[in-house]
Amino acid sequence: MVEKVILLNMFASMFGMRARVALAAKGVEYEYKEEDFRNKSPLLLQSNPIHMKIPVLIHNDKLVCESLVIVEYIDEVWNQKYPLLPTHPYQRAQARFWADYIDKKLYDPGRKIWTKSGEELEAAKKEFVEILKQLELELGDKAFFGGERFGFLDVALVTYSTWFHTYEKCGGFRIEEHCPKLIEWVNRCLEIDFVSETLVDQAKVYDFALGLRKVFNIDTS
Amino acid sequence: MVEKVILLNMFASMFGMRARVALAAKGVEYEYKEEDFRNKSPLLLQSNPIHMKIPVLIHNDKLVCESLVIVEYIDEVWNQKYPLLPTHPYQRAQARFWADYIDKKLYDPGRKIWTKSGEELEAAKKEFVEILKQLELELGDKAFFGGERFGFLDVALVTYSTWFHTYEKCGGFRIEEHCPKLIEWVNRCLEIDFVSETLVDQAKVYDFALGLRKVFNIDTS
């Protein structure tokens, strides 16, 4: 059977990038469809009527939504190459726990850093750094979150690094000063070809964020 | 190796009950430790320093937190008996997607139903019923969410049914009038011995909720 794989995405999304990194790890070829979040396609609205959000993976007409669910799906379908989740149940549980932690905690303070000012910005920066420090603590002295190999939790977090430049420029701080080991980990991830080739350039994300600020008349002065 | 399994729980929690139902499905014996949410034990605070919440599963000194992560862990460790997640990746993705939907959507409006009044209560009831209707639609004409057998998504949702009496009494509405098929599904789940023996009595949950209202001086008049 010929595999037909389509990804509905928006290029700067850290969630969509998770699906792209996972597909790249497995060497899966797919059709890429860029969505405009201000004018969502009928295909997106039909494919994800519950959340109406990218990413959506369409695999042989089967629809899979929500980025972490998509990454696990990709890992299970293309299970012969580059396994992402560990094999041991406890390590799998740890990876899922921390991926869930990232999803619950990191997006909101990150978003506030480039959309808010004054006290709200300062509070968001503080919260953001505390979460990263927690993740740095979980990383410890390991090369990757799961140990020696790049895996599920690395996929879940590394896509956020494409926004680090935006957070730093808008927030006036340097993440490396607070979490040097986490930045070393990002650089280690970027030494892997399929990661560096998939992650979107940080300057493009920054331009995108500045564009959004204009679109929504966000005043951060 | 002798298995040592401990569950830190709070009896009325729909999240803790998920772990209990999963353990019961597998026939796993465990030590149960009831937590007082107003005076959390040092063991709980040490076991789940990130969220400081029940349930926590302690399996041979390994700590697993977050209810859906715990249920998947239980399913993977005791994989010989009563599999909960389907075997096919697409069905697994669907089960995970909807379990995540329940976790993102259902708790807040449910909580408002027994803690709010007036317009807030009415809005919460409306939202709650809409979410249940969406889940009823996903159930369709199947016996259980995964098909013919009780599984992962059934575990994720059925524990909420122990609060239905509380929602109905506090909200002045009947869920069955809006979602008759979902109530039929609850009753089907309750025909399974390990489910009915594990789920907490709805009257006890209601007493608990009324007690909480007093503790927190919640005025819903």
A107-119: pLDDT as tens digits? 999 999 999 999 9
Mean pLDDT of A9-21: 98
Mean pLDDT of B94-114: 97
Q: Using an 8 Å CB-CB cutoff, list chain A residues near B76.
A: 89, 92
Q: Which of B170, B176, B86, B70 is nearest to B129 (CA)?
A: B176
- Cα→Cα distances A147→A138, A154, B113, Å: 11, 10, 45
Domain ranges of chain B: 5-77, 89-215
* CA-based torsion, A128, A133, A134, A139: positive or negative: positive
Residue A76 has what pLDDT?
98
- CATH class (in words) of the domain with range B89-215: mainly alpha
Mean pLDDT of A93-102: 98
For B64, phi then psi, to 5°, come to -130, 125
A135-148: pLDDT as tens digits? 999 999 999 999 99
Mean of pLDDT over chain A: 96
Q: B187: distance to nearest CA of chain A, Å?
A: 26
Mean of pLDDT over chain B: 96
B164-192: pLDDT as tens digits? 999 999 999 999 999 999 999 999 999 99
Task: Collapse the DSSP code of A149 into the 3-class scheme (helix H, G, I; strand E, B; otherwise coil) and give the result.
Answer: coil
Give A126 or A213, the one with higher predicted confidence. A126
A165-221: pLDDT as tens digits? 999 999 999 999 999 999 999 999 999 999 999 999 999 999 999 999 998 888 777
Task: Collapse the DSSP code of A89 into the 3-class scheme (helix H, G, I; strand E, B; otherwise coil) and give the result.
Answer: helix
- Alpha helices, DSSP H, located in B39-83: 42-47, 67-77
Mean pLDDT of A114-128: 97
Q: How far is it, in rounded angstroms, from Cα B117 to Cα B215? A: 17
Question: What percent of chain A has a predicted confidence (pLDDT) above 90?
Answer: 94
Q: Using an 8 Å CB-CB cutoff, list chain B residues near A108.
A: none
Residues 19-78 of B with CB under 8 A from A: 50, 59, 62, 64-66, 69-70, 72-73, 76-77
Q: How far is it, in rounded angstroms, from Cα B168 to Cα A13? A: 40
Q: Is the pLDDT of residue A1 over 70?
A: no
**Residue A40: exposed, middle, or buried by beta-carbon count in 10 A (0-12, 13-18, 19+)?**
middle
Residue A3 has what pLDDT?
86
Mean pLDDT of A20-33: 98
Q: How far from chain centre, in Å, is Cα B100?
A: 12
CATH number of B5-77: 3.40.30.10
Mean pLDDT of A51-74: 97
pLDDT band for A24, please (50, 70, 90 cuts). very high
Q: Is the pLDDT of residue B1 over 70?
A: no
Q: Do B64 and A92 touch (CB under 8 A)?
A: no
